[in-house]
Amino acid sequence: MKLVIQRVSRASVFVDGAVVGAIKQGFLVLLGVGTEDTETECERLSQKMLNLRIFADENGKTNLSLKDVGGELLIISQFTLYADCRKGNRPNFLNAKEPKEAERLYEYFCELCSRETHVEKGVFGAEMSVELLNDGPFTIILE
């Protein structure tokens, strides 16, 4: 499982021009599910992400977590995180989990996170447009 986490002041996702998810302060998360991923990776990475201390405290130090600041999550499925571009110029996605099982794990990851904070989502498998105001910028990749 791969997560690209961007600390944002706000973020929105659109499908066919309509907003399907929007947050204020929090994380925009692009989530890719790989062929070997299971519920265990969802559990481990969701806890790691929720407890990342990358928000400023009263002294300006990155010492507060998403939960500490009451932040929200916008989680968007992103199979292209598993693009393999080593051969040729056209990426292959053989390392991405097949869609039905990837969607199940994506939904499980979102459900785990929603137990601890507000979660908005994109639409799995849809063509989406994402708009964000990156705060920092502060971007982290978890695998």
Residues identified as active-site: 78-80
The terminus-to-terminus CA distance of the chain in angstroms comes to 6
Give dist(CA 123, CA 127) in Å, integer: 8
For residue 63, the tally of other CB atoms under 10 A from its CB is: 13
Query: Quick one: angle between helices 39-50 and 99-114, nearest 10?
Result: 40
